[in-house]
Structure 1
Amino acid sequence: MIMKNLMFTAGRVLLTFSMTGCAAVLGWHLWSFYMEAPWTRDAHVRADIIRLAPDVSGPVAEVLVSDNAQVEKGTPLFRIETDRFELALREAEAQVTATRAAAELAKTDFERYQLLASKEAASLKERQYAESRMYQAEAAYQSALVARDLARLNLERTTVRAPASGAITNFSLRRGNYVVSGNAVGALVEEESVYVAGYFEETKLPRIHIGDPVTISIMGEAQSVTGRVAGIAAGIEDRERSDNAGSLASVAPTFSWVRLAQRIPVRIEIDDAPKTVRLVAGRTATVSIEQRSNRVALRHPLPSAITP
C-alpha cells in the first residue's frame, strides 16, 4: 500500500514537472516568435493612386462612368462643353490661313527684289528689307500653326479619359459642375499595382531579405494571400532632429530610458490571391515572413540519429 502511494505521488510530481517543462518550452518558443520572428500586424494594402483631373476648365457636359466602376486605359470618363474650344480652333485655323497668305506674299516680294537687285534695279537696302519681312511673315505663320495645334489639343482634352486600367473611386462628378484645370475630381486605383506595406521593428530587419516568401492575412478574410519581399525602405524620418536655417542639426536635449524600436516599411509584392479576397487599398493585414533558416532546414533535413 505504501509503495502504491509512493508511485502515485511520484507520478503526480513527474506529470507536474512534465507539464511545467512543456509550458516553459512553449512559452519560450512563443516569446522568441513574438520578439524575434519577422512578423507584424502593422501592415496595410497599398496601391498606386492616380488623381483624376481635367487638363482644361469648363462646365461638365456629360458624365460617362459611375463611382467604383472598373475601366480600361483610354476609357472616356466625362466630357467638358466644347463650344468655346471649337470657336478657339476655328479662330486659330483662320489665323493660319491669314499668316500663310502673308508669308507667301512676303516670299514673292523678296524673290522679286532679289531679282531686281541682281540687275541693279533695286538697292541692297530694299532687298534686305524684303528679306526681313519674309522671315517675320514666316515666323508669324509658324506661331499660328502652334496656336492651332494647341487649340486642337485643348478641344481633344475636353474628353477626359482613364490614364490607366483600374477602379474609379471618390468620384461624384455631375453634369453642370464646373471643373478647373489641374483640380482632382476623383481618383483611380490602378490595377496590377496592389501591394502590401508592412512596418517591421528594426530589430527584426536582420531576418528579412529580398525575395523571402510571405504569408499575408487580410483582416476579415478567411483565406491567406501569398507574396514575397520586394524591397526594404532606405530611410525614415528622424523625429529627434530638425534642420534650421544655419544648416546645423537641431537635436532634442532629452533621452528616454525606454527606447522603442523604429518601424521600417517593407514592400511586399503579391504573388497569388484568392478571387474571394478583396484587396482594397487601405485594408489592414498581418504579414509573416518565412525565415531563410527554416527553408534551409526543410530542404536539407538533419540526418537520422539512428543509422540502420
Structure 2
Amino acid sequence: MIASIVFAWYTFAPISSDARVSRYIIPIVPNVKGRLVDVSVTHLQRVNKGDTLYQIDPVPYPHKVDELMAKIEQQSAEHELNRVNLERARELVAKKAASQYEQDIWEAKYAASTAAIAATEATLENALWQLNETTVRAPANGFPANVWLRPGSYVTTMPVASALAFVFTDSSDILTSFSQSAIRRIKPGDAVEVVFTKVPGRVFSGKVVHIGEATAESQLQASATLNPISGTPLRAHWPVMVKLDDEALAAELPQGAGGRLAVYTDAGAPFHIISKVVLRMSAWTGYLTAP
C-alpha cells in the first residue's frame, strides 16, 4: 500500500531538488579593437540597455573619417570635370567636330567617377560606424559580470577573447531537471510550485513553459573517432524550464539561486497534497543556515 502511494506520488507530482534561476549570458565582444581609455561599470552594476560599458580609444578612427571625406571631395571635383568634358564632347559630336569614340571615353570616365564616389561613401559610412562602435554599450537591461577590465587593457574583435560577460535581467527563468521516467506526464502548462533557499518560508507558483527532450550524452558529431559504447545504463535527466507567476521576484533573485520544485500534472490530484506538504516543510527548514 505504501509503495503504491509513493509510486503514484512520484508519478503525478514529481519533485526536483536542482531548481535554479537561469538567465541568458552573452560575451561582450566589441566590433572594433583597441586600447581602453575608460571603464564605466563595476562588477554586477545594474545598467539599462544602451548604457556605456567601456570606451575604446577613438583616436585612430576620426583620422580615417577625415581621410575619406577629403577623398570624396577630390573625387567630386574629378566627377564634375568629367561631366563638363562629357557635355563638351556631346556638343562636338553633334557638330561633327569630334568622333563618337571621344564621347564614349568621357562617358566611361563619368560613369567610373560616379561609381568611385559611391564606393568611397560606403567606406565612409563604415568608418563612421567603427568610430561609433568605440563606445561599447549594454545590449539589454542587466549587469556585467567578471569586470576585470581597466583603462589600458586591450580588447579585440575575437569572440574567443571576450573580456566581459553580460547577464540579461529582462527575463528570468527557473531551470530544473527530471529523470526520463518522472518527466513522462509533465507537459507545458502544468502548474508548478518552487521554494528557494534564499527566500525561506515562502512558496512561489509558476508554470512549465518548455521541456528540453535532448541530452548531451546522445549527441553525435562528425569525427574520425568512433563513439565508445560502455554498456553503462543511461540515467540522463531532461531539462525543464519554468516561469514564475511573480515576475518581479524572479527578476530580483540572483543568478543561480537554488531551491526545490514540484510539478503538478493533470492527473492524480489527491497525491499533489504530498508534494505541497513536502515543499512547505522545505520552505520553513530554509531558515536553518547550512555550513
TM-score by length of 2: 0.82
Deviations 1:35-86 (A, max 9, x none): 6632211333211112212111111111111111000000111111111111
SS at match of 2:85: helix
User: 1:125 aligned to 2:101?
Assistant: yes
User: 1:267 aligned to 2:246?
Assistant: no
Aligned letter for 1:61? V
User: 1:197 aligned to 2:171?
Assistant: no
Match of 2:53 among 77, 101, 105: 77
Match of 2:209 among 209, 215, 230: 230
SS at match of 2:256: coil
SS at match of 1:55: coil
Deviations 1:273-303 (A, max 9, x none): 67599522233332100121255999xxxxx
Q: Which residue of 2 aligns with 1:305?
A: none
Task: Report the aligned-residue RMSD.
Answer: 2.8
**Contact conserved, 1:242 with 1:250, CA < 8 A, in 2?**
no
Q: Which residue of 2 aligns with 1:141?
A: 117
Q: Which residue of 2 aligns with 1:215?
A: 193
Highest RCO, 1 vs 2 (Cα 8 Å, sep ≥ 6): 2
Distance 2:73 2:21 in 1: 56
TM-score by length of 1: 0.78
- Say if 1:169 and 1:255 are closer, same or farther in 2 by CA, change over 3 A: closer
Q: Which residue of 2 aligns with 1:58?
A: 34
User: 1:111 aligned to 2:120?
Assistant: no
Which consecutive unaligned segments of at least 5 residues does structure 1 have? 1-23, 299-308
- Say if 1:153 and 1:277 are closer, same or farther in 2 by CA, change over 3 A: closer
Aligned letter for 1:85? Y
Aligned letter for 1:180? T
Deviations 1:175-200 (A, max 9, x none): 11111124422122111221112211
State the identity as a percent: 26
User: 1:206 aligned to 2:180?
Assistant: no
SS at match of 1:292: coil
- Greater CA drift, 31-40 or 60-69: 31-40
- Greater CA drift, 166-175 or 177-186: 177-186
> Moved runs in structure 1, 4+ residues, more than 6 A?
none
Deviations 1:114-140 (A, max 9, x none): 221122211111111111111111111
Q: Which residue of 2 aligns with 1:89?
A: 65
Which consecutive unaligned segments of at least 5 residues does structure 2 have? 273-291
Q: Which residue of 2 aligns with 1:45?
A: 21
Distance 1:251 1:224 in 2: 44
How many angstroms does 1:245 deviate by?
A: 5.5
Distance 2:146 2:117 in 1: 45
**Contact conserved, 1:38 with 1:207, CA < 8 A, in 2?**
no
- Say if 1:170 and 1:250 are closer, same or farther in 2 by CA, change over 3 A: closer
SS at match of 1:163: coil
How many angstroms does 1:203 deviate by?
A: 0.8
Could you say which structure has the larger radius of gyration?
1
How many angstroms does 1:169 deviate by?
A: 1.1
SS at match of 1:188: strand
SS at match of 1:70: coil
- Say if 1:152 and 1:277 are closer, same or farther in 2 by CA, change over 3 A: closer
How many angstroms does 1:31 deviate by?
A: 5.3
